[in-house]
Structure 1
């Protein structure tokens, strides 16, 4: 949860620097995926053990979607290499954490 929150704050700073058209289209999509992923993980934290796997799988799907749209943002040259690398590395680490949770449940 903490790493995802840190990644979102990093994204938020970057999103303010995006070109206006991109910020209000793809930027909002990415922002929503971040907040939805945070919400799913928060819900999983408080749900019963039997239901956790479902929420973990949902979080993994949202995270993969987030990575996909970030890659598109980078491919359109709306996000520079350094910022993309920072976000990608953070999201890869979060993906490993979620993968570890899947193995537990």
Structure 2
């Protein structure tokens, strides 16, 4: 559920990027969050969860990188980036716990 809430926030947020960035950075952010969510869904339905969870972790790292770039380019405010980072950290901890089980 936290992932879906972050997805909704990110999708609404990236629509406010400059038009020329919607097909570059915004698209990469959207792809990363969708791929992350897809990996989590596959993990819930698979008997061997680890490969899907490791791949989800990679997508989460991609997403964090893209959002740092967006913040550096001032497409996100520091407050917005802080909100994203807090949620991403919480999701990362949940993912890490799931990987350890």
Aligned length: 101
Distance 2:80 2:20 in 1: 19
Say whether 1:56 aligns with 2:56.
no
What residue in structure 2 maps to residue 33 of structure 1? 32
Stretches of structure 2 lacking an aligned partner (at least 5 in a row): none
- Which fold has the larger relative contact order, with Cα–Cα distance below 8 Å and residues 6 or more apart in sequence? 1
User: What's the CA shift string for 1:34-89, capped at 9, x where partnerless?
Assistant: 001111100110000xx101111110111011101110110111111111111111
**TM-score of the aligned structures, taking structure 1 as reference length:** 0.92
Q: Secondary structure at the match of 1:24?
A: coil
Partner of 2:49, secondary structure, is helix
Q: Which residue of 96, 99, 103 maps to 2:96?
A: 99
Matched, 1:15 2:11: no
How far is 1:29 from its partner? 0.4
Give the alignment's Cα RMSD to 1 decimal: 0.8
TM-score (norm 2): 0.96
Runs (4+) of structure 1 exceeding 4 A deviation are none
Distance 1:90 1:10 in 2: 11
